């Protein structure tokens, strides 16, 4: 009876030898705890629970969820409670609710004694998808995808485009970006593109989304939507070096599809026009990078046009991704991923300081920072 009381109180072990633990795309039966939060969905579906779903039975797959017996259970090493009860678990269609019922088997009438509905997060998932493209060097484009766990529908998508011929998966290997995705509720999509000098000279490579690479990204979004309930109207883009080439030209090509973009250190730019006056952007470059003048000229053109852009350069920084740069990029992207209302702070791009009341820098240096958090990082505060 003491075991039974422990079962029904809050966050306790369901069984001594087996409970629920998310791992990858599986739900494994292991000696961990399950959290019962007392929350109930509006509609509950209880499928038939065949004997092979019991602890100690044969592993089966139910709607992409694999139920595995624990080692203790399979060896017959469970407690008296676990031997006396029948344990069933399954994923509901939403993928976030788990129904559990426990019933005595020995000498008791009908098995349904308790019903718990516990909310569990679908484990974070990483996978790869491929789409065809109209490019001799890229007949098929691979995209690495990271989906955070436990998200509602309508996830925003953050496209991460690496430097020249870089592997998109390297972004997802970084805990900084996956932790950011978990925190902000964003799906990460990272392509691996290929190009060469001839394509770059002819302006036919993936640097120019209007030719083929932009369509490959849109096709990847369509494919991704079949697997994950993502937001399709706007995406967010971060690009470094060649990725910055892609990021700003994708925004020029399809401004209606871009919620905000970060372009860090492109070598040359297509100057902005009226199409980008509604697209927030962060333009960055290291001051020891030969690409500085071209990047600054692009940012200043946008500022004079009235584009909602931020410019920031970094002394002592060459053509490299640094902690300062990625911190600035993430705080900027987080603001727009969350859909937070702006609380503008005017800054002077000559000094990287916010302006006091009554101060007004020249239009070419006037930066409107959409939040105090962004302003603090832009000014270099810890």
Residues 114-132 pLDDT 10s:
333 333 344 689 999 999 9
Q: Angle at CA 236, nearest 5°, toward 336 and 233?
A: 95
> CA-CA-CA-CA torsion for 40, 44, 48, 54, nearest 10 degrees?
-20
Q: How far apart are the first and last CA of the chain?
A: 55
Q: What are the start-end ranges of the E strands in 258-355?
A: 258-264, 281-286, 309-314, 345-348, 353-354
- H-only helix segments in 254-360: 292-305, 323-338
Ordered structural domains, the chain, with CATH: 2-119 (no CATH), 125-340 (3.40.50.1820)
* Strand order through the sheet with 60-62: 19-23, 26-30, 65-68, 60-62
**Residue 66 above 50 pLDDT?**
no
> Cβ neighbours of residue 12 under 8 Å, at least 6 residues apart?
6, 33
Helix, strand, or coil (residue 137): coil
- Matching residue, tokens 């496209």: 159
pLDDT for residue 152: 67
Read off the pLDDT of residues 289-323 as tens digits, 9 standing for 90 and up.
999 999 999 999 999 999 999 999 999 999 999 99
Question: In percent, how much of the chain has pLDDT > 70?
Answer: 67
pTM above the 0.95 mark? no
List the structure tokens of 252: 């020029």
Residue 237 predicted with pLDDT over 70: yes
Q: What is the mean pLDDT of residues 91-118?
A: 37
Cβ neighbours for 293, distance < 8 A, ≥ 6 positions apart: none
Tally Cβ neighbours within 10 Å of residue 185.
15
Question: What is the per-residue pLDDT for 149?
Answer: 85
Report the chain's mean pLDDT, rounded to a whole number: 76
Least confident window among 151-160, 218-227, 293-302, 348-357: 151-160
Q: Are 257 and 241 in contact (CB under 8 A)?
A: no
How far is residue 220's CA from residue 315's CA, in Å, rounded to a whole number?
37
H or E element, residue 182: helix 175-184
Total length of the chain: 382
Nearest to 159 by CA among 189, 203, 198, 204: 189
């Amino acid at each position: 009876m003491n075991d039974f009381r422990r079962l029904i109180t809050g966050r306790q072990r369901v069984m001594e030898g087996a409970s629920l633990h998310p791992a990858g795309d599986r739900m494994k039966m292991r000696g961990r705890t399950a959290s019962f939060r007392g929350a109930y969905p509006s509609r509950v579906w209880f499928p038939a629970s065949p004997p092979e779903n019991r602890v100690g039975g044969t592993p089966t797959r139910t709607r992409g969820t694999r139920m595995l017996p624990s080692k203790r259970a399979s060896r017959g090493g469970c407690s008296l409670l676990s031997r006396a009860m029948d344990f069933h678990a399954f994923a509901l269609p939403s993928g976030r609710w788990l129904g559990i019922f426990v019933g005595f088997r020995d000498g008791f009438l009908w098995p349904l004694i308790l019903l718990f509905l516990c909310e569990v997060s679908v484990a974070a998932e990483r996978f790869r998808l491929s789409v065809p493209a109209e490019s001799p060097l890229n007949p098929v484009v691979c995209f690495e995808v990271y989906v955070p766990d436990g998200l509602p529908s309508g996830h925003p998508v953050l496209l991460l485009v690496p430097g020249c011929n870089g592997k998109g998966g390297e972004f997802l290997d970084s805990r900084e970006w996956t932790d950011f995705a978990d925190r902000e509720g964003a799906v990460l999509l990272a392509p691996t593109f290929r190009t060469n000098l001839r394509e770059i000279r002819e302006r036919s490579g993936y640097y120019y989304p209007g030719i083929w690479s932009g369509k490959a990204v849109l096709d990847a979004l369509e494919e991704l939507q079949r697997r994950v309930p993502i937001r399709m109207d706007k995406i967010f883009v971060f690009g470094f070096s060649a990725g910055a080439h892609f990021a700003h030209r994708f925004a020029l090509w399809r401004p209606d599809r871009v919620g905000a973009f970060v372009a860090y250190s492109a070598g040359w730019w297509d100057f902005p026009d009226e199409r980008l006056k509604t697209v927030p952007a962060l333009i960055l470059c290291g001051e020891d990078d030969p690409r500085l003048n071209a990047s600054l000229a692009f940012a200043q053109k946008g500022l004079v046009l009235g584009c909602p852009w931020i410019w920031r350069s970094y002394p002592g920084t060459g053509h490299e991704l640094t902690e300062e740069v990625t911190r600035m990029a993430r705080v900027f992207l987080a603001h727009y991923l969350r859909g937070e209302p702006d609380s503008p702070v005017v800054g002077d791009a000559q000094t990287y300081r916010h302006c006091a009341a009554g101060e007004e820098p020249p239009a070419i240096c006037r930066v409107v920072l959409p939040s105090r958090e962004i302003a603090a990082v832009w000014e270099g505060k810890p």
